[in-house]
Every structure is written in C-alpha cells, then in structure tokens.
Amino acid sequence: MNIFSIFTLLGGLAFFLYGMTVMSNGLETISGGGLERIMKKVTANDFLGFFLGAGITVAIQSSSAFTVMLVGLVNSGLLNFANTFGLIMGSNVGTTLTAWLLSLAGLEGKWYIEILNPSNFAPLLAFIGIAMQMFSKSEKKHNLGNIFIGFTVLIIGMDLMSDSMLSFRTLPGFDSFLATLKSPIVALLISTVFTGVIQSSAATIGIVQALALSGGITWEMAIPLVLGANIGTCVTALIGSIGTNKAAKRVVVMHFSVNVFGSIFCMILMYILRAFGVGILAAPIAMVGVAIVHTLFNAINTVLLIPVKKLLVKFCEVVVPDREEEEHTLVLDERLLTVPAVAVGTAFDHTVEMSALAIESIEKSLPLIDKYDEAAAEEIKELENRIDKYEDKLGTFMVKLSKEEISDVDTNQVTKMLHTINDFERIGDHACNMVKVAKEMRDKNIAFSKEATKELSVLTDALNEILALTKEAFAKTDVEIAFKIEPLEQVVDKLIYDIKANHITRLQSGNCTIELGFVLHDLLTNYERVSDHCSNVAVAIIETAHGSFQTHEYLRDVKRTNEEFKKDYEEYLEKFAL
C-alpha cells in the first residue's frame, strides 16, 4: 500500500462519475421528447407512475436527475405534488440497474460465462462506440456511441476502485476502518455523508461493490452502507429545491421521507435478525449481494409505503405547511434543463398555451367592432400582458435549452418554437390594435354601412377559420392541417383587396366617408397581419418536418407548383365569397 493506491481510488471514482455522466447524457438524448406529457397522463395512477418512474430512471441512469426534474415540473405547476409518489418509488427501483450491471464483474468460469463480465466486453463496446463516432453521420449512432464509451469508462473506473481496495486491505489502519463499519449506525452515517458530498448513489454503491469484490465486508456492513447511499442521494434534490414553491419543496420531503422511513424499517429488521443470531449477516457479501440488498430495500420500501401514501402526503404538508405566498409567475423552471428532452416537451406545452391565449385574444376582439365592451377590452389587454410574459420566459428558456445536448428532432422543435413565439406575441398585439379601432368607432359614434358590415362578416369568418386551423395544427404538430393555412391566407388577402376596392367604389358614389375609410384601413391591416402570422406558424410546422427553415423559398415554390394548394385555394375562395 502506498500513496499511488489513493491516486488509483480517486482516479477510479473520477472515471466512474464521468462515465456515468457521459452514459446518462447519451441515454437522455436518445430517449427524446414527450416524457413530460406522458408523465402528466399517467401520474394520477400510482401503479402506472411507478413503472414510468422506473423506466425513465433506467433510460437516463440517474435517480437524482429524475427527482430534480420532478421538482422543476411541480414548481412550474405542471405536475401535482401528490402524484409524484409513484414516480419517486419507481425511480428508486429503476436506479438499482447500475448495481446489477456492475455485479457481473464478479463472474468467472468458462468463456461464455466470463464474456458477461463487463470488464471483458466493455473494451469491445468502446471500440464500437468510437467507430460510430468516427464513421457514422447518424446522430442516433453518435449518441449510442457515447453510451458505449460512457459505459466503458464507468467500468474502467469500477476496476480501478476494485484494484485500489485490494491495496487498501494491506494498510495498517484499514482493518480499524472496517471495524467502525461493523456499527450499522456509523456505517449508515458515513455512507449518507459521502453520497451527499459526491451526489451519486451509484458511485457509493459501486465502492461498496468494490469492497465486496475484495472480500472486505459482510452483509451486516453492506446493508447500512446501501441504505445510507439511498438517503444521501436526496441531497441533490434538496439543493435543486432552493428557491422553489411549497409544492416543489414537498417533493423533496417526500423523496427524503420514503428513503429515511424505509431505512429505519430495514435497520430495525436487521437488528432483530442480529439479535436472533442469523448467521448470514456475518458472512462476506459478494457484488451480486450488494445489488440484491439495493433492489430489495427499494422494493420492500415501495410495498410498505403504498398503503400509507395519504399519511405520507399529509406528513409532507405538515413539514412544508401552507402559507401566504407571492403568486407564482414562472412559466418554466430551469431545473428541467437537467433532462433536456423533458425540457423540450415542457416548453412546447407552454408554447401551445401561449398560442391558445393569442388566438383567444383575437376571437374576443372581433365582436367589439360591432359592439364595444369596456370589460372585454380590459380582458384582452390582460391577455396581451400574459402573452408578453410567455414570450419573454419561453425565449430565455429556449436559448438556454439550445445550448444543451439535444437530438436533431428536439433541436428542430426548439427552432420551430423560437420562430413561432414572436408570431403569437404579435397576434396578441393586433388584438389590442383592434380594440383601439373598436374604441375609436364607439367614441366617434361611427359605424360601417350594411354592405361593409356584410363584407367584414365574411372576412371575419375566414379569419376565425385560419385561427382555428393554426391553433390545431400547432398543438398537434399536424402538417396536413398546416398545408391548408397558406391557401386560406391567400384568400384572406384577396378578400381584403376586394373590400378595399369596394370601399373606394362606395366612397366615389358618396355612400361612405373618408373618416370611415381610415378606420377600415386600420382594421383590414390588422386582419391581414394576423393572417400573415398564421401563415408563418404553418410554414414553421411544415419546415420543421423537413428540417429546414427557408420560409420565402417554400412559399414561392408551393404557390407555383403545388396542385393541392391550388385546389384548397379554389375551395376557400368559393366558401368565403363576398
């Protein structure tokens, strides 16, 4: 034993943590978006939530990142605090996969047995991963290569820690250290603090397995070390909850409570078994034994706590009581950036909300032209303020999200949202402009002629239809619906041109006034701009599907060559004829 053994241990821990990070990032990117929407659908059912939590944690290989993500979702008001119970329990079980993979390192025997040992097949995975990085242009293969390389680095770190543990056994003070671990309470505290410092329960479990591989610890020593790792991993979520609302803080209390209560139960059970002199507790534990302890703890914990979920929720509400709080105004929580694929889905949901607010503001403003209402006008102004806040928060969040490692599909999704939030914000502005026009008509006590009113009614119907199509196409990311928006936009333009021409005819015949002409011009300009923004959104949807944002080239080509465009244009022209 010399100082180089300490270097080996620290280097092994560094390789382990780095390999875990690389592998997790690759798995997160491959998992893609949509996770957040799935969570909102299934979390009301704890059974489904359990399996979803386990699946996502297996996918991203980090229960800490998953819990921080839950804190962000609850803080943003996207998930109910009580519905996170099943997800947390599932995540605790899902995180045990790493221990099972590492336990294969102890396999020995014939070649077809030893090939299952990660230390033997990991170098081949690294070679395949590097080949994917060097010779493939596919983003999925690049991410898969990252996963292979990360896993190999993780295994190298595990081997280095195991080797250092063999050297540590010759250290004079090492036996004394192991003696302290014979006290379950001390072992639990040491493991809890160590995991809290490095913020990785997987690394702590890996070190315990390295100790087990060297033959240095018993079942009685390993059990509290595993329990402490599960408690210590709560520190990451605790740090992530700083500055959140009470519901998000309750998620952290929930995560901490289930692990503490489960650990207390298991410690009591272990003391009972020790009192009865159960021999296995004093026997040396193998790597697979550590994996079994880790899995059994979380499985037993889940079975024990499911029946008392309501009491656990009540306990969290007592620890973090209701109190007077400032109104929560955050649209998006940056903690969601820990899992970029979920952040993309969450940002999209908020952009859909923004689009609905913008379209609602226009729909509320159109009736005011015929009959101005002050209360409705104030409501539209409030909607416009909310839309502005959405644009600000979404824009800032997505710029940060763009810097994360995300898939090409998610990159296109973010690009589409950055293209469209300005259009939705401008639609809200035009709603306010139409309110001003309506107020001017009320204040001046002027009204359009029957002919102009009839023509505006047809135009309004066309605008309402293009707004409805835009709302549906964006929310569903439906390219077929988006294709119908541009021909309708052309019809709206033609209607506006014809209405202007008819106004000039009425003006020349003395059936209209210059004053009404100015008002009509302002009104038609806003109609046209709203229609244009709907067209921009439709093009963004279509171009996202093709992975390109050449808007002007697309519009030019589709009007010239697309037969479906011409067919839809003729149908809309007939439907909205003056």
Claim to verify: residue 96 and residue 245 sit in the same structural domain? yes
Cα separation of the two ends of the chain? 93
Claim to verify: residue 312 and residue 360 sit in the same structural domain? no
pLDDT at 107 over 60: no
Claim to verify: residue 8 and residue 132 sit in the same structural domain? yes
Claim to verify: residue 497 and residue 394 sit in the same structural domain? yes
CB neighbour class for 531 (10 Å; exposed up to 12, middle 13-18, buried from 19): buried
Radius of gyration of the chain (CA): 31
Q: Which of 12-26, 165-179, 244-258 has the highest mean pLDDT?
A: 244-258
What pTM did the predictor assign? 0.69
Claim to verify: residue 175 and residue 258 sit in the same structural domain? yes
Domain end residue (candidates: 319, 351, 370): 319
Domain residues for the domain of 194 are 3-319
Q: Enter the tokens of residue 510.
A: 């003395």
Q: Which residue has the higher pLDDT, 309 or 28?
A: 309
Any idea what the CATH number is for the domain that residue 372 is in? Answer: 1.20.58.220
Claim to verify: residue 283 and residue 427 sit in the same structural domain? no
Q: What is the dihedral of CA 394, 53, 65, 341, to 10 degrees?
A: -40
Q: Enter the tokens of residue 79.
A: 């998930």
The average pLDDT across 254-275 equals: 92
Claim to verify: residue 52 and residue 152 sit in the same structural domain? yes
- Of 9-13, 186-190, 397-401, give the lowest mean pLDDT range: 9-13
Total number of domains in the chain: 2
pLDDT at 194 over 70: yes
Cα separation, 104 vs 119, whole angstroms: 9
Residue 334 lies in a domain: no
Claim to verify: residue 263 and residue 385 sit in the same structural domain? no
Residue 432 lies in a domain: yes
Cα separation, 61 vs 99, whole angstroms: 11
Residue 214 lies in a domain: yes
Alpha carbon 330 to its chain centroid, in Å, reads: 15
pLDDT value at residue 165: 67
Q: Helix 563-575 vs helix 485-508: angle between axes, to the nearest 10 degrees?
A: 40
DSSP tag of 512: S
Residue 326 lies in a domain: no
CB-CB contact of 242 with 75 (8 Å): no
Claim to verify: residue 314 and residue 408 sit in the same structural domain? no
Q: Enter the tokens of residue 500.
A: 């202007």
Residue 128 lies in a domain: yes
Amino acid identity, position 344: V
Residue 330 lies in a domain: no
Q: How many helices (H) and strands (E) does the chain have?
A: 26, 0
Domain end residue (candidates: 319, 352, 371): 319
Claim to verify: residue 445 and residue 494 sit in the same structural domain? yes
2-8 contacts at long range (C-beta below 8 A, 24 or more positions apart)? 2/167, 5/164, 5/167, 5/168, 5/171, 6/164, 8/160, 8/161, 8/163, 8/164, 8/167
DSSP tag of 33: S
The average pLDDT across 429-436 equals: 95
Residue 324 lies in a domain: no
pLDDT 10s digits, 474-514: 999 998 999 899 899 999 999 999 999 998 888 878 777 78
pLDDT at 554 over 70: no
SS3 of 121, please?
A: helix
Phi/psi-derived region of residue 200, left when phi > 0, alpha when psi is between -120 and 50, beta in every other case: beta
Claim to verify: residue 464 and residue 541 sit in the same structural domain? yes
CB-CB contact of 220 with 281 (8 Å): yes
Cα separation, 3 vs 167, whole angstroms: 10
Q: How far is CA 12 from CA 26, 29, 72, 153, 265, in A?
A: 21, 26, 32, 9, 33
SS3 of 284, please?
A: strand
Residue 497 lies in a domain: yes
Claim to verify: residue 182 and residue 260 sit in the same structural domain? yes
Q: Give ∠ CA 411-417-420 in degrees, rounded to 5.
A: 145
Confidence of residue 328 (pLDDT cuts 50, 70, 90): very low
